[in-house]
Structure 1
Amino acid sequence: MSAVRNLRKLSRAAVLGGTSRGSLPDAIEHVAKVHRALHPGADLRALRRAYVLAESSHRGQTRKSGEPYITHPLAVTLLLAQLGAETTTLTASLLHDTVEDTEVTLDQVREEFGDEVCYLVDGVTKLEKVDYGTAAEPETFRKMLVATGNDVRVMSIKLADRLHNMRTLGVMRPEKQERIAKVTRDVLIPLAERLGVQALKSELEDLVFAILHPEEHARTRELVREHTERLDPLTGVAAQARRLLREAGINAQVLIRPRHTVSVHRLWLKRGELGPCDFGRLLILVGEDADCYAVLGELHTCFTPVITEFKDFIASPKFNLYQSLHTAIADDSGRVAEVLVRTRRMHRVAEAGVIALGDPHAAAEGGQETAEENPGERADPTRPGWLSRLLEWQSHAPDPNTFWTELRDELAQDREITVYCAAPGAEAPGGGALPLPAGATCVDTAYARLGEAGHRCIGARVNGRLTALSTVLRDGDAVQLFLEPANGSPSGPSPEWLDHVRTPAARIAIRQWLSAHAQATAENDTGSADGTLAGTHDADTPGPDDAVEELSDQPTESTPVVPGRPDTPVRLARCCTPVPSDAVIGFPVRGGAVTVHRDTCRAVARMLSAGRPTLPVRWEQGAAGCRVTLRAEAFGRAHLLADLTETIAAEGAAVVSADVEPPREQRVRHTYTLQLPDAKGLPALMRAMRRVPGVYDVTRAVHDLTTG
């Protein structure tokens, strides 16, 4: 009701005109009074000139409600003044519709009020539908967000403008009310949340709720009405808390803070039934950060704390600047009250967010107002992580529909994490802090850190462990990215990446790459993820059902022999493919032959425990080398098989057979049976294979075979 009374007062003053003390027009005297209370030294001359220009340029225009149009910029300016906005913001607010709806030009605003006011007015001026058609609304929001990236006060004015329009939306047609309410819900309310302007956000939520869900809104309002007719039990809990803190010598203000309508509705949905203490919370305001923890200690000592409800947003502020201690306590009567504990400065920022931080340019220059009044406060709130990400990806979304869709998806993410990601190739796995939305994956990290070079990402370690690219990251994770070689075209992302990305930047980059390489992607999808021989299986390569007695049917050339039995047939077991210099052991099999295993083979332990007899075996070097089976573990990419076989050939080995298993979570396993000219070259060959980009391990194959 106070908002309605203020609006009526402004309407009368705007119509009647006149001036009051200090030569301020009557219409802005109330605005000036509110402004002076928070900024006593403010120079109001620009504010007066702005009102005179706005009133004269809007004269004769009326709103749908029939009121003089000037009441709208006046009401928006009053909202911002109540939130503590500085004079430049209020000046631009009075003028915010002049360029859009009157004959006033940006050049006139710049000449009369300077570059800053001109920038703010331009930032909130809508683009014309005659020029942009249906793209006017998304492109207007894109323009505002880009302007907000340089000066957050642009969005402050837009939020206050939308709130006053929502307050007076009842004069519009129902279908237009619904359309405006949906945009407010999907875009403006999330922006208010991210900028920390809770006072505007809460009222916007309630107004949208009433339009889009009238039945639920009416039911919730009835619950609130019934509650207000009874004695609020929080009054008794608040009195106990005041007495407790006074006796502890803590100077604190204890208030009862009613929940707004949407907050009550959400709690009802969560709990199914509301108790008498659920319609509000205790708000305790103190002077210093240390006092917050002193209050917490007293509350948890003298009441019964509900530990699951405790959250410390002072030590770990939310990404929208919000700081408070949250807890819940129960008194001897069993009444449970939620409690917020914060300093008065924290409370001002919690209510007004970035508006409370004043002029970011003045703060950055060590300048005026908020910067002087509150040294140590965050100097530049205009580029939090989410806004930097938004400004980056929007530049790659030329299509207005794509921008509009991705903007809503981006703003739907209501939490943020920080991961640490070094540039690929850096010695340490950690690196620069990288803010990402909650739910982001290694793929999101790659594009956030590398831009389009994220196309080359083939794997990642998280906190030192190899992990799938689809892994969802947690706050504080250290991420190390693996890239394919920079020379040549990247193999690029797979379509599956779209299933587990959360950031618009990653989504847009992946879609653009897939669109540009649609034919190549289709061809790659018919084969393996690395485009090579997926699923091939040579008859000489052992399969999972082979028995341990099955032997290589190829000549070995470097021959194991049984001492004293030169004519005994000797074969190499396929499960461990021993080569010269390996320590080996022989087992007699049917037909008088001997099977030779590496002594570390798992089959050896099983057969020894079963009582199988053994025979000693030694190597006799032949003239034509030896055969070995190697297994390469790698991140899937194009040309991997070609690079590995080229490396194998360069080391003088020949590929007898190759098997590439289907990829799993971007990783592939290649198994090669190789003929080496000399077993002594095996270590060098394995080292060379490990150096192939994307390969993270090469081992001697040990097949899990069962004995017959």
Structure 2
Amino acid sequence: MSAEATNPGAPSRRRARPRLDLRRLGRAALLGPTARDRVPDAIGHVAEAHRAHHPDADLAILRRAYVLAESSHRGQFRKSGEPYITHPLAVTLILAELGAETTTLTASLLHDTVEDTDVTLDQVRTEFGEEVCYLVDGVTKLEKVDYGAAAEPETFRKMLVATGNDVRVMSIKLADRLHNMRTLGVMRPEKQARIAKVTRDVLIPLAERLGVQALKTELEDLVFAILHPEEYERTRALIAENADAGDALAAVAESVRTVLRDAGIQAEVLVRPRHFVSVHRVRLKRGDLSGTDFGRLLVLVGEDADCYAVLGELHTCFTPLISEFKDFIAAPKFNLYQSLHTAVAGSDGAVAEVLIRTHQMHRVAEAGVVALGNPYTVVDTADGTGSAGAADASAGVDGERADPTRPGWLSRLLEWQEAAPDPDTFWTTLQADLAEDREITVFRADGGTLGLPAGASCVDAAYAQYGEAAHACVGARVNGRLAALATRLGDGDTVQPLLAQDAASGPSPDWLDHARTPAARIAITGWLAEHPEAAKPQAAAPRAPTSPGGGRRAAANAVAEAPGLPAATVRLAGCCTPVPPDVVTGFAVRGGAVTVHRGECPGVSRMRAMGREPVEVRWGRAAECRVTLVAEAFGRPRLLADLTEAIATAGAAVVSATVEPPSEQRVRHTYTLQLQDAAGLPALMRAMRDVAGVYDVSRAQHPASA
């Protein structure tokens, strides 16, 4: 986990953060451990930060961890020349400031001992317990001697699997990378760039998904300085030129304080400067920046209801920009983030962005999963059985946040990594997955949610919800309406993937054109590899020829009669093919014939509009009838064969059939069928609807295509 010396070109933070005095710590570390009854001087600052969040914490285990770490790393130095122990101390301080609990801090002090010293995992387990041992093992890198070029991707795979069982593993890794990025300056430029790229492509997205914004923003700035030095310098100069920009926000903040005080709302209003990358993004988006663009206002209150009270006052006393309003309290982000976002304009036209949240929401927004403390702590319950505190408190149907110790995105990531045994495939797929901005949340029909990248389709939703069972997906309902699998989903959509009962069905190669998530693409690719016949291009289904007699001719044995015109020939209209016991209406046509329509047929309205008078018709006695049915389905192999088999099983005969070319994976089959008994029509339609891929069967309302 080592890296290296202080980076003189690293971006300065616009907010003061406590930093380690490495030389002072180095001297303290060289003096060795102190008496057993007090904390060593070298970790006094860690103990102070820890007690600020956990006043009752037992510091004895930290003292023992420090003693082991200091003695095992003694004689090792970083490239900066400082004793190596300063690195685990710095990592531990970062986590202590975020509010990590004692077990995490203990493992953080020891996180490099197994990798870089003679300390063994068994020794860690014996002296500090199974939890600490697991965390240390989780962040221990695999040896290049054993894995060669695959060491880095396999180390990350190992770390992700460990994180799946305990998110504190990744918390330690993120803090470790942050301190290494802070001290990267003495390394060769090419190595700096390589480490910065991995940080950008893997660690920063993981920090975002775990909600650890305090680490994410500083990592972004450090990467920005290394990979884009010119843009970074331009941004630094812009911030320096606008050093008094905070005055503009301060004036707005004072106005907000006055408004809230007059309304009797207790709130803390702070000016929050933007970090370097944030200023850079705003500049690219807006061009010239005003004073209020260099920061945002943060309003902290006591209760959730107070957040909405503040929002109401701001929108009443200032001019709100409605397009900027977002409610992440009612609909939290997948990474635990909760806040109200808005923007208001003052009397002078200056626009200020405002974040409104409770103190607890703010702690979680900054520290993410670290703010959960120990999510595996067993707490007493009313029945005395005990349960995991954080996980149990968040239990519910929400797939993303039900268990903060195993977020939904992490579960899906672990599932697809198992299907990517090749290290190169895993590494490239991991970076591609993390590069996706998970900007949308879609709701499942059962009440849960799915976090998906922008542009995700119903294919992605199906695999996110059902895993490999989604191979049998034949379509979906989006917001209650039937939709093709290619349909792109929007933020807030409700999606219900529809699975066929036929276990033999599977995806087509076209699905890969609509899959955005690695989980979906890997699953589809794997299935197609196992079923090469399905990957072959399918010839377009031909239009079935219309058999003699066609769908427009009356059944040979007419089943309708016109009592007022007993000599007239009675024909069933091909546009709606009525059958008993449909309500029917007749109209006299040329040649002295009577055409019979279903009562709701559009043809009835047209005939009346033309001035045609209806003719009384009724059903007579007949053994057979003819009907035209339209089957709407999602295209798949053997659909035509399965539909005709269902029709034959129901006792009907196909008089004619038309198969239209597919459109957006959907196909329409039109069948004119001869039934032995009209009473069997409902059962026939049910049998056709039960065919895999068919989502609707209806009576024809227009002439069948020839």
TM-score per shorter chain, which class?
A: 0.7 to 0.9
Of 249, 254, 261, 2:276 maps to 261
Of 30, 40, 49, 2:64 maps to 49
Letter in 2 for 1:527: A
Task: For 2:593 and 2:572, locate their aligned partners in 1 and report how far apart those are by CA, in whole Å.
Answer: 9
Task: Report the equivalent of 1:95.
Answer: 110
Q: 1:663 to 1:364 in 2, by over 3 A?
A: farther
Of 489, 510, 528, 1:514 maps to 528
Task: For 1:452 and 1:183, locate their aligned partners in 2 and report how far apart those are by CA, in whole Å.
Answer: 30
Contact 1:630 1:700 survives alignment (8 Å): yes
Contact 1:238 1:255 survives alignment (8 Å): yes
| Distance apart, 1:262 and its partner CA | 0.5
Task: Report the equivalent of 2:509.
Answer: 495
* Secondary structure of residue in 2 paired with 1:535: coil
Relative to the length of structure 1, the TM-score reads: 0.85
* Secondary structure of residue in 2 paired with 1:537: coil
| Distance apart, 1:184 and its partner CA | 0.9
Letter in 1 for 2:427: W
Of 449, 465, 470, 2:486 maps to 470
**Matches for 1:240-639 after TM superposition, within 5 Å:** 240-362=255-377, 381-415=404-438, 419=442, 421=444, 430-439=445-454, 440-474=456-490, 477-486=493-502, 489-522=503-536, 525-528=537-540, 533-538=541-546, 540=548, 552=553, 556-558=556-558, 574-577=574-577, 583=584, 585=586, 587-589=588-590, 592=591, 594=593, 596-598=595-597, 600=599, 601-603=601-603, 605-606=605-606, 609-610=609-610, 625-639=624-638
* Secondary structure of residue in 2 paired with 1:596: strand
Letter in 2 for 1:652: G
Greater CA deviation, 77-86 or 666-675? Answer: 666-675
Greater CA deviation, 433-442 or 124-133? Answer: 433-442
Contact 1:588 1:615 survives alignment (8 Å): no
Q: 1:603 to 1:618 in 2, by over 3 A?
A: same
Letter in 1 for 2:658: D
Of 174, 186, 203, 2:201 maps to 186
What do residues 488-530 of structure 1 show as CA deviations (whole Å, max 9, x unaligned)?
x5221112222223433222211101111122331xx3235xx
| Distance apart, 1:363 and its partner CA | 5.5
Letter in 2 for 1:456: A
User: Gaps spanning 5+ residues in structure 1: where?
Assistant: 422-429, 544-550
Contact 1:309 1:327 survives alignment (8 Å): yes
Q: 1:147 to 1:578 in 2, by over 3 A?
A: closer
Q: Structure 1 residue 156 and structure 2 residue 155: aligned? A: no
Q: 1:268 to 1:21 in 2, by over 3 A?
A: farther
What do residues 559-598 of structure 1 show as CA deviations (whole Å, max 9, x unaligned)?
8788899998876664445668774646554xx5747352
| Distance apart, 1:374 and its partner CA | 14
| Distance apart, 1:275 and its partner CA | 0.1
Q: 1:130 to 1:484 in 2, by over 3 A?
A: same
Task: For 2:315 and 2:607, locate their aligned partners in 1 and report how far apart those are by CA, in whole Å.
Answer: 65
Q: Structure 1 residue 220 and structure 2 residue 219: aligned? A: no
Q: Structure 1 residue 142 and structure 2 residue 157: aligned? A: yes
* Secondary structure of residue in 1 paired with 2:160: helix
Letter in 2 for 1:401: D
User: Gaps spanning 5+ residues in structure 2: where?
Assistant: 1-11, 396-401
Task: Report the equivalent of 1:674.
Answer: 673
* Secondary structure of residue in 2 paired with 1:332: coil
| Distance apart, 1:188 and its partner CA | 0.8
Q: Could you say what the CA RMSD is over the residues aligned between the two structures, in angstroms?
A: 3.6
Task: For 2:204 and 2:127, locate their aligned partners in 1 and report how far apart those are by CA, in whole Å.
Answer: 33
Task: Report the equivalent of 2:76.
Answer: 61
Task: Report the equivalent of 1:547.
Answer: none
Relative to the length of structure 2, the TM-score reads: 0.85
Greater CA deviation, 675-684 or 382-391? Answer: 675-684
Q: 1:58 to 1:663 in 2, by over 3 A?
A: same
Q: 1:40 to 1:668 in 2, by over 3 A?
A: same
* Secondary structure of residue in 2 paired with 1:218: helix
Contact 2:574 2:703 survives alignment (8 Å): no
| Distance apart, 1:172 and its partner CA | 1.8
Contact 2:249 2:297 survives alignment (8 Å): yes
Greater CA deviation, 580-589 or 346-355? Answer: 580-589
**Matches for 1:10-159 after TM superposition, within 5 Å:** 10-17=25-32, 19=34, 22-159=37-174
Q: 1:565 to 1:22 in 2, by over 3 A?
A: closer
What do residues 622-665 of structure 1 show as CA deviations (whole Å, max 9, x unaligned)?
88x45443322233344333333233333433223322222333
Task: For 1:290 and 1:564, locate their aligned partners in 2 and report how far apart those are by CA, in whole Å.
Answer: 74
Task: For 1:474 and 1:566, locate their aligned partners in 2 and report how far apart those are by CA, in whole Å.
Answer: 60
Task: For 1:377 and 1:657, locate their aligned partners in 2 and report how far apart those are by CA, in whole Å.
Answer: 58
Q: 1:631 to 1:309 in 2, by over 3 A?
A: closer
Task: For 2:122 and 2:320, locate their aligned partners in 1 and report how far apart those are by CA, in whole Å.
Answer: 60
Contact 2:73 2:85 survives alignment (8 Å): yes
Task: For 1:450 and 1:666, locate their aligned partners in 2 and report how far apart those are by CA, in whole Å.
Answer: 21
Contact 1:558 1:619 survives alignment (8 Å): no
Task: For 1:563 and 1:178, locate their aligned partners in 2 and report how far apart those are by CA, in whole Å.
Answer: 92
What do residues 148-177 of structure 1 show as CA deviations (whole Å, max 9, x unaligned)?
122111111100000011111122222221
Task: For 1:252 and 1:571, locate their aligned partners in 2 and report how far apart those are by CA, in whole Å.
Answer: 80
Task: For 1:36 and 1:121, locate their aligned partners in 2 and report how far apart those are by CA, in whole Å.
Answer: 23
Greater CA deviation, 74-83 or 232-241? Answer: 232-241
Letter in 1 for 2:644: T
Q: 1:573 to 1:108 in 2, by over 3 A?
A: same
Contact 1:73 1:96 survives alignment (8 Å): yes
Task: For 2:620 and 2:325, locate their aligned partners in 1 and report how far apart those are by CA, in whole Å.
Answer: 73
Task: For 1:55 and 1:471, locate their aligned partners in 2 and report how far apart those are by CA, in whole Å.
Answer: 58
Task: Report the equivalent of 1:427.
Answer: none
Q: 1:209 to 1:363 in 2, by over 3 A?
A: farther
* Secondary structure of residue in 1 paired with 2:448: strand
Task: For 1:651 and 1:281, locate their aligned partners in 2 and report how far apart those are by CA, in whole Å.
Answer: 68
Contact 2:670 2:704 survives alignment (8 Å): no
Q: 1:336 to 1:670 in 2, by over 3 A?
A: closer
Contact 2:25 2:86 survives alignment (8 Å): yes
| Distance apart, 1:674 and its partner CA | 2.8
What do residues 292-347 of structure 1 show as CA deviations (whole Å, max 9, x unaligned)?
34444444444333333333333333222222333333333333322223333322
What do residues 190-227 of structure 1 show as CA deviations (whole Å, max 9, x unaligned)?
11112111111110000111111111111111100001
Question: How many pairs were matched up?
Answer: 676
Q: 1:51 to 1:537 in 2, by over 3 A?
A: same
Q: 1:249 to 1:454 in 2, by over 3 A?
A: closer
Task: Report the equivalent of 1:658.
Answer: 657
| Distance apart, 1:557 and its partner CA | 4.3
Greater CA deviation, 112-121 or 340-349? Answer: 340-349
